[in-house]
Chains A and B, each alone.
Chain A
Amino acid sequence: MTSDTVATLAALLREVVGDELDLMGPIDAGTCFSSDLELESIEFVALAEKLQERYGAEVDFASWLAGKDLDAIVALRISDVAEFIDGCLSSE
């Protein structure tokens, strides 16, 4: 996982959530989308769209999520998504 990817994720989250993100503390690899950021499901969808705009079709976030049950989605951390993205980009 690269620090670039984590920084990109933080920037995209800011676009989705807005200034409210500041109230939730700093975002790093260990930040959990659900318990730390308290993201709503529709915000998760908006983040998926941002990822697609940013990285294009080779990062298929939606299909990756589809393989996970709700418990796994709730437990997702920034590092999980960053590693997924890096994996997609390096396999080209």
Chain B
Amino acid sequence: MNGVDIHVQEMGRGPAVFLVHGLLLDNLASWYLTVAPRLAASRRVVTYDLRGHGLSQRVASGYDSAGQALDLAEVVDTLAPGEVVDLIGASYGGLIALRCALARPWSFRRLVLVDAPLPPRRYPEIDAYLEADVETLVGALPVRLRAEVLQSKRRAARLARSVGYLVRKTSLIDDIRGEEEIPAPLFAGFELPVLGIYGADSPFRADAARLAAHLPNVELAVVAGGHRLLNESPGEVAAKVTEFLDA
């Protein structure tokens, strides 16, 4: 896809929904082992590893949201050519999903953003996250997941290796820091129904208001948990998504 080998997984049958995961600690397992199977009861669920993440090809550059939106567009065009599909992005994957939907709104029916840092602009939470070392990133995981990683030397080492690769060997940090505001004209006439789900204790909670200010057709929902809602409240997230997509 877009010159990069992208690892894709699918489950379920029905109308197609594409799921996009977040940066660094995440890969498609963040969806696959949490919310995806719940949605697959009534849908064809497609999820993929972002470039450099999970089992997708490790590549040195192209991690900005606009560039990754091109990867996503190719995934959609390849797996659901000509279809109008639903799209869900979590965390930075929400920004990628929004970018893609803004660029080609005709491809998408409904859009869900799960605790996405929006609109994209530099602010302290993102800088703090990007400057963090692997230990700090692991420390920010919900207690249960953190224990899960730290109990296993192998898992901790592999996590440190994959995050270390992205932070030190690729342009990811520079690409994210260099993100510019989405140009206002792109939002003009964008009428896709959007659901924004935010964690009650998330550092990105205040972005719900920013999202609403930019998008004319947005619903907001708050569920229990912090930023990693897919792990913390998978049932609640799946229920909100299903209600919105079925409406």
Minimal Cβ-Cβ distance residue in B for A60 = B11
Does A41 lie within 8 Å of B33, measured CB to CB?
A: yes
- Interface 1/0s, chain A 32-76, versus B by CB < 8 A? 001100111110111011000000000000110110001101100
Considering the chains assembled together, what is the distance between the CA atoms of A65 and B11 in angstroms?
12
Give every chain A residue within 8 A of B9 (Cβ-Cβ). Answer: 45, 49
Partner of B231, one of A39, A44, A48, A70: A70
Does A42 lie within 8 Å of B38, measured CB to CB?
A: no
Question: Which of A44, A62, A73 is the most central at the interface, judged by chain B CB atoms within 10 Å of its CB?
Answer: A62
Give every chain A residue within 8 A of B97 (Cβ-Cβ). Answer: none
Give every chain B residue within 8 A of A70 (Cβ-Cβ). Answer: 144-145, 148, 231
Partner of B153, one of A34, A38, A48, A71: A38
Give every chain B residue within 8 A of A66 (Cβ-Cβ). Answer: 36-38, 40
B24 to chain A, nearest CB (A): 14
* B151 is an interface residue with CB less than 8 A from chain A: yes
Does B36 lie within 8 Å of A62, measured CB to CB?
A: yes
Does more than half of chain A's interface fall in helix, strand or loop, or is it mixed? helix
Q: Contacts A35-B151, A38-B153, A63-B40 known; A45 to B28 CB distance under 8 Å?
A: yes
Does A45 lie within 8 Å of B152, measured CB to CB?
A: no
Does A42 lie within 8 Å of B28, measured CB to CB?
A: yes
Considering the chains assembled together, what is the distance between the CA atoms of A14 and B145 in angstroms?
25
Give every chain A residue within 8 A of B38 (Cβ-Cβ). Answer: 66
Give the number of A-B contacts (CB < 8 Å): 58
Interface size on A, residues (CB 8 A): 20
* B168 is an interface residue with CB less than 8 A from chain A: no
* B54 is an interface residue with CB less than 8 A from chain A: yes
Considering the chains assembled together, what is the distance between the CA atoms of A44 and B29 in angstroms?
8
A4 to chain B, nearest CB (A): 26
Considering the chains assembled together, what is the distance between the CA atoms of A70 and B145 in angstroms?
8
Considering the chains assembled together, what is the distance between the CA atoms of A41 and B37 in angstroms?
15
Considering the chains assembled together, what is the distance between the CA atoms of A79 and B40 in angstroms?
26
B19 to chain A, nearest CB (A): 13
Does A63 lie within 8 Å of B41, measured CB to CB?
A: yes
* B155 is an interface residue with CB less than 8 A from chain A: yes
Give every chain A residue within 8 A of B37 (Cβ-Cβ). Answer: 62-63, 65-66
24 contacts between A and B (CB under 8 A): A34-B148, A34-B151, A34-B152, A40-B155, A40-B158, A40-B159, A41-B33, A42-B27, A42-B28, A42-B55, A45-B29, A45-B32, A46-B55, A48-B32, A62-B32, A62-B40, A63-B37, A65-B33, A65-B37, A66-B40, A70-B144, A70-B231, A73-B33, A74-B148
Residues of B within 8 A of A (CB): 9, 11, 27-30, 32-33, 36-38, 40-41, 49, 54-55, 144-145, 148, 151-155, 158-159, 231
Given contacts A34-B148, A66-B36, 15 further A-B contacts (CB under 8 A): A38-B153, A40-B29, A40-B154, A40-B158, A42-B27, A42-B29, A42-B54, A44-B29, A45-B32, A48-B32, A62-B37, A63-B37, A66-B38, A71-B144, A74-B148
